Amino acid sequence: MTDNPNATPAPRKAGAKDVFKALGRGRVLITLLLGFGSGLPFLLTGATLSIWLAEGDVTLAAIGFISWVGLAYSFKFVWAPVVDRFDVPLIGRFGRRRGWMLLSQFVVGAALVAMALIGPEGGLTALGAAALVTAFASATQDIAVDAWRIESAENDEDMGLLTSAFQLGYKFAILAGNALILFFASWFGWNGAYAIWGGAMVIAIGATLCAKEPVDRREIAAATGGAAPWTPRGMFDAVIGPFINFVKTHKAAAFLMLAAISLYRLPDFVMGPMVGPFYIDLGLTKEAIGAMRLSVGLVAAFVGIAAGGLSAVRFGFGPTLLLGALIGPLSNLGYTAMAVAGLSTPMFAGVLFVENFSEGFAGAALVAYMSSLTGIGYTATQYALLSSFYALLGKFLKGFSGVVVEGLEQGHTLMNAYALFFAGTAMVGIPAVILCWFLERRNQRLKREAEAGT
């Protein structure tokens, strides 16, 4: 479904047994553990941090603004060329991808421990600085792991299997970071829970040490013209080359692709910082939130990821991307209904199921689609560009989420303000649906032209 000339032919149709059986392979298992390491710190600087701050009586506006530390993920394309083209000093002997993975994983663990030592009581500025370091190192880890995953794939079908394994590990870490950690916070306090999660980064470090470096750097140099990295041509090729290559490959459609990607998960991003405070204001306890997320949320997430992966294999990236854009905002509307109806365990379970299924499906669809658009020699930088566009707008706008809710509260009750806010965030998903529809029409036209030509 992609017009990337570097892509391999379409994979054979695979069933569910092929996908799950592949998890027994060593390389796929390592990918799952690396996905766990990538997902572990994500919510600890976002939604989970907002619950910690809400319990500390921090204002909604401040909670929204501190979520801006997540912008580090959206600007990772700035330093992705360095990760793509240069080895890490000293530990570069592990290989370029593995060296950067090890360095970033260690810094993530140390920064999470720093957040635990500081806490809100140490001041929002210091806590925000530690969270920013965590996000920066986590974004660097994503750059290296994404490149390792894409370069390790032998063909499109293998790409789908590794993507599914990565997403499973990532989603498990997300559930650990927004569900399991709530129990640990009840038992050991938030500071203790964050320290334990920082130590859990040893899982990702162990997976990196067991991984195999996927590509000989001499092959990369040959694919990109062999420019020396520190010459003017080498620096130009490292920083500007990936973007020029992407536009040349996809031509005018490159801008349509970037627009669709940038709007795809906008509803999730914008509402994100307010979900935690909404739970607290609704009267839910940490234990109740954690129990529901680990039961209903866990099942829904795995079902959504599996459905997204299988849909991509059977129907292609385009139709799966469009379907994900359609079902993604359903969770926002679920939160609107929950705010209107009040505290209800069955409704909470239903909303959480829809949220985790839609996020799992849409996330798998988007990752598979973005992975299909990268070219050899620029894997890390191009994927960082795409994943940065996917998050940049949403992570900027979500910083104002607390201000919006506080503004709506001026003329409504707090719950009605939440209801209006969540409904509005669902509506911002409409442009993504339209753009994905245009992309799918374009892909179908190219496919018909190719078939007519043969």
pLDDT of residue 78: 79
Q: In this structure, how many other beta carbons lie within 10 angstroms of the beta carbon of residue 57? A: 7
User: Would you say 181 and 193 are in contact if contact means Cβ atoms under 8 Å apart?
Assistant: yes
Residue 59 pLDDT? 87
Question: Within 10 Å of residue 165's Cβ, how many Cβ atoms?
Answer: 26
Residue 8 has pLDDT above 50, yes or no: no
Return the pLDDT at 437.
Answer: 92
Check whether 378 has a pLDDT greater than 80.
Answer: no
Write b or e for each residue in 252-290: b if 16 or more Cβ atoms lie within 10 A of its Cβ, otherwise e: ebeeebbbbbbbbbbbbbbbbbbbbbbbbbbebebeebb
User: How much is the pLDDT for 388?
Assistant: 74
Structure confidence at residue 376 as a pLDDT band (50, 70, 90) = low
* pLDDT at 6 (0 to 100): 32
Check residue 137 and give its pLDDT: 95
Measured CA to CA, the distance from residue 150 to residue 5 in angstroms comes to: 16
Contacts of 152 (CB under 8 A, 6+ apart): 27, 31, 162, 212, 214
DSSP 318-386: HHHHHHHHHHTTHHHHHHHHHHHH-S-HHHHHHHHHHHHHHHHHHHHHHHHHHHHT--TT-HHHHHHHH
Cα angle for residues 225, 226, 227 (degrees, 5° grid): 95
Chain-centre distance of CA 398, in angstroms?
15
Task: Work out the angle at residue 416's Cα, subtended by the Cα atoms of residues 414 and 422, and round it to the nearest 5 degrees.
Answer: 105
Give the single-character DSSP code of 23: G
Q: Reply yes or no on domain 19-453 having CATH 1.20.1250.20.
A: yes
Answer whether residue 267 shows pLDDT above 80.
yes
Range scoring the smallest mean pLDDT among 62-71, 157-166, 396-405: 157-166
Decide: 365 and 308 in contact? Cβ < 8 Å: yes
Confidence grade of residue 2 (pLDDT, cut at 50, 70, 90): very low
Calculate what percentage of the chain has a pLDDT beyond 90: 37
Q: Residue 424: pLDDT above 90?
A: yes
Q: Can you tell me the distance from the alpha carbon of 303 to that of 257, in angstroms, rounded to the nearest whole number?
A: 27
Q: What would the DSSP string read from start to end of 239-272? A: HTHHHHHHHHHHTTHHHHHHHHHHHHTHHHHHHH
Domain parsing of the chain, residue ranges: 19-453
Asked if residues 399 and 67 have their Cβ atoms less than 8 Å apart, the reply is: yes
- Asked if residue 222 has pLDDT above 60, the reply is no
